A = this chain, B = another copy of it.
Amino acid sequence: MTQAGNAQAGPRARQRQARIAQILAGAERVFAEAGFEGASMSELAAAAGLPKANLHYYFGTKEALYTTLLDSILALWLSATDSIRPEAEPAEALTAYIRAKMRWSRERPQASRVFANEVLHGAPYLRSHLAGPLRALVQEKSAVLEGWIAAGRMAPVDPPHLFFSIWAMTQTYADFGAQIGAVLDLPEPDADCFARGTDTILQLVLRGCGLEPPGR
């Protein structure tokens, strides 16, 4: 049996991991710009700095490359809700969550766009993950919010729909960056744009939930 992880792996396996990471990094860029159908294996190979055939050697098909990339992006996506825990202060938890999502839009806009493109077209490869792990996560975190509401620590709100709105507002700065940039006369959203966006979203969510900005 060959080693799959990267810890304690031999130089052979380590080089393999490096090549795979190299291919996935390029693929994130290309799929983000062109979508699944719009991306060609030639472009994907050029982005990775390798001949076309090597991509087929490592992943078999374009579809397998795409789904591997999607899985790694979804894992990132799911890991951002850590701050929402029953013992946390609601305003602090929501602020931390929104800031984490905005940081993700700023630092990984291409990953966000690959994910958005997949969902936009009906999530053919991701639907089972969304109905499984994501649904479970939303139910868990919604229960935390319900607890806060029942305890009078925040105003009543429909927790899943609050999440849908937070996802939409934060991801729009990555996914629809072209539109925001066009309206603001920028080539793409810059640091100031993200700062103003974060403030606006925090204002809407915190006040909408009857909370004050966390003192610090």
Contact = CB atoms under 8 A, between A and B. Distances in A.
Interface residues of A, number: 54
A47 interface: no
Contacts of A116: 120, 175-176
Interface string A128-167: 0011001100100000000000000001011011101101
B121 A182 contact: no
A4 interface: no
Name A's interface SS.
Answer: helix
Contacts of A18: none
B120 A120 contact: yes
A113 B122 CA distance: 10
A73 B121 CA distance: 18
Contact of A37 (B37, B123, B176, B208): B37
Copies of this chain, complex-wide, total 2
Contact of A122 (B33, B131, B134, B196): B33
Residue of A120, A175, A176, A183 contacting most chain B CB atoms (<10 Å): A120
Residue of A38, A127, A171, A203 contacting most chain B CB atoms (<10 Å): A203
Contacts of A37: 34-35, 37-38
A43 to B, nearest CB: 12
A50 interface: no
Contact of A127 (B127, B164, B173, B182): B182
A122 B176 CA distance: 8
A76 interface: no
16 contacts: A116-B120, A119-B175, A122-B178, A123-B182, A131-B182, A135-B185, A157-B200, A157-B203, A158-B196, A161-B197, A164-B180, A165-B169, A165-B172, A168-B176, A207-B207, A207-B210
Given A37-B38, A208-B208, 9 more contacts: A33-B121, A116-B176, A119-B176, A122-B178, A130-B183, A158-B200, A161-B197, A164-B197, A204-B205
For the complex of A and B, the 6 pairs showing the least CB-CB separation, nearest first, are A204-B208, A130-B182, A168-B172, A37-B38, A161-B200, A168-B168
